[in-house]
Amino acid sequence: MSSYGLSVGIVGLPNVGKSTLFNALLKKQQALAANYPFATIEPNVGVVPVPDERLETLARITAGEILKHPKSASYDIAAQVQDDKEKNQDDKSKWPPIKPATVEFLDIAGLVKGASEGAGLGNKFLSHIREVSIIAHVVRAFSDPSASSGQAPIIREGSIDPKSDYDTIETELILADLESISKRKSQKANPQLNPDRIGVKSQNELIEKLEKALNQGQPVRNLKFTEEEQEVVDQMFLLSAKPEIIVLNVSEEDYTEEKINSISKRYGEMLFSVTASEAKQSHEIASSYSPRNDIVVICAKIEAELSELSKEEQKQYLADLGLKESGLERLIKKAYETLGLISFLTAGEKEVRAWTIKKGSTAPSAAGVIHTDFIKNFIKAEVVSFNDFISNNGWKSSREKGKARMEGKDYIMKDGDVVEFKIGK
């Protein structure tokens, strides 16, 4: 589990490549990836490291600082570094352990039309979605005869129809939410929905607003709410309110930088195009209707192949395709971006580590990610930017040159801050 508790639910119709993608994420075959509906009955869970190139650089610099200024006997290597400190600094066995931030991925069983009414694995599928922070909705954008055979009739035979596939799952989420709203309407104002933040009348108006939008096919995530309304909506645990990333699974021949950009644009327009009437309805519900920029193009088969290669071989493979990073790396970064997450860093002889927090978090909140007691016992934080830490070769020089600074309880953390927290007893 990540320090923030980030979890991504991989969803999609059967045979769109969900389990292939999940297997690549875990770098081993942990999911049953047989090509038939309901192959994955329980959600497979895996914890995946967040790619962060800063950590190795940070570990190298920290190792060099420890070599020059050893603080404890745990690094009893002074004798062997006298002649060649640089060589030992580059020796990864001398580095502090690296602990990246992590993301929890759940491979959730395939969905069929009618799931909101219990068809297929409907109710189980929907309950699993409630547990995740964000949905990664895998949509098939490749041709594969086995995915449209009699064994898997859910996929439209002889054609690729990502919009239909996408709408099928989106509709089931909306229908499930309508059922939840209907049950809530039949009750009086629920005292569990934070009555201090919103009154009974406003709560009823909010429920009417949600019902109207859902009946018009609008997921809750598209709507605009006041801060008070948002708190109440969050307590309803509506499925279509979950943030979402669209993962377009393309064929090997389409997996190049040039094609990825054009495919993302083309399918984005296709998936989220609306009629004039729908646009008018959307405008009545929300003050603005922002274009979608949450599409990630991947080729699950290539990602699976990459997962079997060494780091250097992966770089060469991607370079041959004209790509700078893998689809999995783009997916994780997009999840961070969509959820508004950043990482701060800690560096010492025991470990070099990345921690996940929400953008806008204060220093005490960040300290609380390390240990909850640190929030109430927070005194101050010594902070230096990642670039300053590296250019000054660690804490000692950063302090001497005035690049490290003391921050108090109101300090807003920035991505890449290298921090030492001062905690009282």
The per-residue pLDDT for range 226-236, each reduced to its tens digit, is: 988 999 999 89
pLDDT in tens, 326-344: 999 999 999 999 999 999 9
Mean pLDDT on 121-128: 67
Single residue among 264, 282, 300 that ends a domain in this structure: 300
Number of DSSP helices (H) and strands (E) in the chain, helices first:
17, 12
Same domain, 288 and 388: no
Looking at the structure, tell me whether residues 169 and 189 fall in a common domain. yes
Q: Is 373 inside any structural domain?
A: yes
User: 264 vs 384, which has greater pLDDT?
Assistant: 384
Q: Domain tally for the chain?
A: 3
pLDDT of residue 349: 87
The backbone region for 114, taken as left when phi is positive above 0, alpha when psi lies in -120 to 50, beta otherwise, is left
Residue 397 lies in a domain: yes
- In this predicted model, which residue has the larger pLDDT, 77 or 95? 95
Predicted confidence at residue 273, as pLDDT, reads 61
Residue 145 belongs to some domain of the structure? yes
Residues 44, 84: one domain?
no
Asked whether residue 219 is domain-assigned, the answer is: yes
pLDDT at 95 over 60: yes
Least confident of 12-21, 30-39, 98-107, 117-126: 30-39
Q: Which of 252, 239, 244, 214 is CA-nearest to residue 138?
A: 244
**Domain around 398:** 360-423
Report if residue 267 sits inside a domain: yes
Q: Is the confidence at residue 258, as pLDDT, over 90?
A: no
Residue 153 clears pLDDT 60, i.e. is over it: no
Query: Domain holding 399: CATH number?
Result: 3.10.20.30
Regarding whether 185 and 77 lie in a shared domain, the answer is no
The larger pLDDT score, comparing residue 204 to residue 323, is at 323
Statement to judge: residues 233 and 94 lie in one domain: no
> What pLDDT band is residue 144 in, cutting at 50, 70 and 90?
low
Whether 396 is covered by a domain: the verdict is yes
Region of poorest pLDDT, from 19-28, 78-87, 388-397, 399-408:
78-87
Judge if 376 and 228 occupy the same domain: no
Q: pLDDT at position 130, please?
A: 86
Assess if residue 318 is contained within a domain.
no
Give the C-alpha separation, 59 to 92, whole Å.
Answer: 9
Q: Which residue has the higher pLDDT, 341 or 275?
A: 341
| Angle between the N-to-C axes of helices 122-129 and 162-185, in degrees from 0 to 180, rounded to the nearest 10 | 80
**What single letter denotes the amino acid at residue 389?**
F
Residue 299 — pLDDT band, cuts 50, 70, 90? very high
| pLDDT, tens digit (0-9, with 9 covering 90-100), for 166-215 | 998 899 899 989 998 988 887 655 555 555 556 667 888 899 999 999 99
Each residue's pLDDT tens digit, 33-87: 343 344 444 557 888 888 899 999 999 999 887 666 555 434 443 333 344 445 5
362 has which bridge partners? Answer: 412
Domain-embedded: residue 406: yes
Least confident range from 6-10, 19-23, 97-101, 392-396: namely: 19-23
**257 pLDDT above the threshold of 70:** yes
**Which residues have CB under 8 Å from 288's CB, separation 6+?**
224
- What is the mean predicted confidence (pLDDT) over 113-121? 55
Q: How far apart are CA 45 and CA 166, in angstroms?
A: 23
- What average pLDDT does range 106-114 have in this prediction? 71
**pLDDT value, residue 261:** 84
pLDDT given for residue 47 in this prediction: 81
Question: Could you tell me which residue, 286 or 298, shows the higher pLDDT?
Answer: 298
- pLDDT value at position 84? 41
Amino acid identity of residue 417, one-letter, is D
Residue % of the chain over a pLDDT of 90 = 43
Q: Are residues 219 and 170 in the same domain?
A: yes
Average pLDDT of the chain to the nearest whole number = 79
Cβ-based neighbours of 50, under 8 Å, separated by 6 or more: 2, 100, 101, 102, 103, 332, 336, 343, 354, 356
Quick one: residue 38, left, alpha or beta (phi over 0 = left, psi -120 to 50 = alpha)?
A: left
